[in-house]
Amino acid sequence: MCGIVGYVGTPGKTPSAVGLVLDGLRRMEYRGYDSAGIAALDGKGGMAVEKRAGRLDNLAEAVEDANLNNYESTTGLGHIRWATHGRPTDVNAHPHVDSDNKIAIVHNGIIENFAVLRAELEADGFGLRSDTDSETIVHLLHREYYGDGENRGSIDKSVRAVANMLEGAFTIVIAHADHPDRLLACRRNTPLVVGIGEDAMFLGSDVAAFIEYTRQAVELGQDNIVTITKDGYTITDFAGTEIEGRPFTIDWDLEAAEKDGYDYFMLKEIAEQPHAIADTLRGHLHNGRIVLDEQRITDEDLRQIEKIFVVACGSAYHSGMLAKYAIEHWTRVPVEIELASEFRYRDAVLGPDTLVLAISQSGETADTLEALRHARAQKARVLAICNTNGAQIPRESDAVLYTHAGPEIAVASTKSFLAQVTANYLVGLALAQARGTKYAEEVEEIFQDLENMSAKVEKTLEQWDNVNEIAGHFAQNDTMLFIGRNVGYPVALEGALKLKELAYIHAEGFPAGELKHGPIALLEEGVPVIVIMPSPKRHPLLHSKMVSNVQEVQARGATTIVIAEEGDDSVIPFADHIVRIPECPSLLQPLVATVPLQMLAAEIATQRGYDVDKPRNLAKSVTVE
């Protein structure tokens, strides 16, 4: 996600804030971003702010043009932004400042109640310049600090009051030009660490922000507020009670710090999937109703929809297959899944009563974009699922739901895939809500089930050592097969794709019921077969069918690796290896069942000596047909 740097130094002893903060932002470029900005305090009540859309070089040029490289300051903050609310523009970039140019803030996360807060501020006469949720924070601080209430003139009390107003996920760093000796920061659900330097203190969304200057750091807990000065730090909770942080020593170099200690970005991104699910859901259930990010389709329009097409490529296509199961089950509207590269060449029947769901991580996938344009030309409605705010696909769509997975550095899709699956389910619930096929309490119950999946994915990650051991048995195999039924079939396809992408192994995914219709001929002694086993409690008939399939596989001498629910002992006699996943609703099982397959592909690729982050011949975004 976005990156934050904060710094308070000692005049004459430590570097200028402008150069130091810019360097810190460069060390966090790996996170991905679409705009950047910096604020520096001069110690005399003044503050300089520059921010630009695009690359950090744009910001550096603006700093040079404004002669800020010679700006005398040892207190500053900076930000690189990955757009969530509002397109990547100069105005929407951080820092955001108040009307007096006295208070500056940078923010990571999502403020769920920003619409209510914004309306309240506008009613009070505040003029907001950006489209972001973040800008509300700086005006709330201004109102508290300069208002007639008990917080007037106290930056500490004002920050505490505003932190308690906010709902959602946030890390916020605050500077006030009249308090140039300090920075304040607060966090909830998103990371923030303090760096302890010599004659200086630092803040960062991760340690890469300040690792050049210190290896001593303090981790903040949930709902903590920290104040740093050149001499030290204090931490309180949101009620103002002083508490202790958790000191630690950074024993990584810069490259490892960027990857949070993981050997590859992909491994880090697999581990970030609980957050990707939670962030994608955050703010989309409001007053008992599912809300999208941008919607120019009314509920009446959705009620007129008679058919839905899902168009996507690669992993996004597999997520779309899962959308079909959910949407048809919850709405009873027929859904067709189409490879975007084929869609506009087969003369699909489209019209005003058709909804096209276009799924793309980048929002620039050429085949998906052309499929969308073809659908619009036929008067169909288009709803986009995208991870990149302001990209071409969402701009040309009638409605948008953003997946808040954050930037994905590794080429192979992991956290963006799970975020897409989550978003697809949200679309299904929004359709069911609009069409009246689910009661409000049913929609809310399913949404809560989705929220619970974040913890279940976290628990699945505990299987990593087990999966690594299994990978050691099969790293030198030339072929692997994957089988599943119902929602397990798209999971099998996604598992096979990951293995092909990363380990360059021939891998195929099949519907388990199709084994006897041809694929069973591929089975021979020692061939690994990965089985996605449905829940015996929630889908007993499907489970019994899959057990029969596993027996067929084992009888031909193949080696079985079974992804099975905790407590499912019926598979033990037929499984050579078992990976356990938590029990969950059948439709949601792919959110946990996919994770061990991602880990398996990454570990096999590593053991074969391949670069997991940059598989050969592949690009992150396919922007040509």
Question: What would the pLDDT profile of 6-24 be if each residue is shown by its tens digit?
Answer: 999 999 999 999 999 999 9
pLDDT (0 to 100) of residue 390: 65
Element (H, E) at 271: helix 265-271
Residue 415 falls in which region: left (phi positive, over 0), alpha (psi -120 to 50) or beta: alpha
- What value does the mean pLDDT take over residues 536-554? 91
Has domain 267-438 been given CATH number 3.50.50.60?
no
CATH of 461-607, picked from 3.40.720.10, 3.40.440.10, 3.90.1720.10, 3.40.50.10490, is: 3.40.50.10490
The single residue listed with the structure tokens 């997975």 is 405
Residues 173 and 203 sit within 8 Å (Cβ to Cβ): yes
Q: Catalytic residue at 2? A: yes
Domains 3-252 and 461-607 share a fold: no
Provide the pLDDT confidence category of residue 256 given band limits of 50, 70 and 90.
Answer: low
Which tens digits make up the pLDDT trace of 58-101? 999 999 999 998 899 999 999 999 887 888 899 999 999 999 99
**What proportion of the chain, given as a percentage, has pLDDT over 90?**
78
Q: From CA 616, how far away is CA 459, in angstroms rounded?
A: 32
Q: From CA 125, how far away is CA 119, in angstroms rounded?
A: 10
pLDDT (0 to 100) of residue 366: 85
Provide the pLDDT confidence category of residue 567 given band limits of 50, 70 and 90.
Answer: very high
Alpha helices by DSSP H, 378-439: 392-395, 415-435
Q: Catalytic residue at 620? A: yes
Helix count (H) and strand count (E) of the chain? 19, 28
pLDDT(298) > 60: yes
Task: Break the chain into its structural domains and give their ranges.
Answer: 3-252, 267-438, 461-607
Which tokens hold the place of 250? 């950074």
pLDDT(509) > 90: yes
**Strand-pair partners of 479:** 506
- 486: number of Cβ within 10 Å: 21
pLDDT(491) > 60: yes
Q: Please provide the average confidence, as pLDDT, over all residues in the chain.
A: 93
- What value does the mean pLDDT take over residues 125-130? 94
Q: From CA 511, how far away is CA 482, in angstroms rounded?
A: 9
Q: From CA 511, how far away is CA 498, in angstroms rounded?
A: 17
Residues 206 and 196 sit within 8 Å (Cβ to Cβ): no
Alpha helices by DSSP H, 43-83: 56-65
Cα dihedral 219/172/61/98 (nearest 10): -150
Q: From CA 133, how far away is CA 17, in angstroms rounded?
A: 27
Residue 108 CA neighbour count, 13 Å, CB half: 26
Which tens digits make up the pLDDT trace of 149-201? 999 999 999 999 999 999 988 999 999 999 999 999 999 988 899 999 999 99
pLDDT (0 to 100) of residue 625: 55
Q: From CA 434, how far away is CA 525, in angstroms rounded?
A: 52
Strands of 513-602, DSSP E? 528-532, 559-565, 577-581
What distances in angstroms separate CA 372 from CA 2, 363, 621, one per listed residue?
29, 11, 17
pLDDT(267) > 90: yes
pLDDT (0 to 100) of residue 274: 96
Residue 597 CA neighbour count, 13 Å, CB half: 40
pLDDT (0 to 100) of residue 457: 98
Q: Which of 40, 349, 15, 29 is nearest to 198 (CA)?
A: 15
Q: From CA 133, how far away is CA 153, in angstroms rounded?
A: 25
Give residues with Cβ within 8 angstroms of 609, minimum separation 6. Answer: none
Query: Annotated catalytic residue: which of 2, 186, 313, 386?
Result: 2
CATH number, span 3-252:
3.60.20.10
pLDDT (0 to 100) of residue 169: 85
pLDDT (0 to 100) of residue 252: 67
Whether residue 95 has a cis bond before it, omega within 30° of 0: yes
